[in-house]
Amino acid sequence: PFAIKDGKAFGPGVLDMKGGVTILLHTVRLLIEAGYQRHPLKIILAGDEETGHAHSDAAKDYLAESRGALMGFNMETGFMDNGIVVERKGVYQCRFDVRGMGAHAGNNPEDGRSAVRELCRKVLDLESLTDFKEGTTVNVGTFSGGTVANAVPEEAHCVVDVRFRSASALERIKKEFRTITEKV
């Protein structure tokens, strides 16, 4: 739960969301106190938090509201060492679905083809695409498959999160993803 201890705030959203709003409010106050009037200010606050609002159309609103703007700032907080964040990595997320052949694990397992086993192989290949030097990470964040313990799983899926610094890195990842999906 949210709490303030020794002058510091703790709890959900304190760093990204509430911290960013605090920075914004102090920045605007300082600009007003300094008599800033050179360009108009437009402030957009949204409660969307990353992937928690999958059906949000806030990005469309951001683009519409920013037309003609001189510049824009994301007011997220910096790092604990007081460093300033000057860039964010790109994000690419996708879901991999694997279909096998279900069978009873005790009576006829040889007739089955485990979707979970196949997806496990693919997960190892996917995550091996991480290149820390390039600044690209591939993370399988969720994995699900099968229905009951005594059945060879017919279906499995995972959701993958990719962070990248360049368009060429993303293209490399997409190409490798295609190769992995086509591999049987």
Per residue in 42-76, pLDDT (tens digit) is 888 876 666 556 677 877 888 898 898 888 887 77
Q: Which amino acid is it at 49?
A: E
Q: Model confidence at 126, in pLDDT bands (50, 70, 90)?
A: very high
Q: Model confidence at 23, in pLDDT bands (50, 70, 90)?
A: confident
Q: How far apart are CA 19 and CA 40, in angstroms?
A: 23
H helical segments located in 34-184: 58-66, 115-127, 167-182
Per residue in 87-109, pLDDT (tens digit) is 788 999 999 999 999 999 999 99
pTM of the model: 0.70
Q: Does position 16 have pLDDT exceeding 90, yes or no? A: no
CB-based contacts of 58, cutoff 8 Å, min separation 6: 46, 48
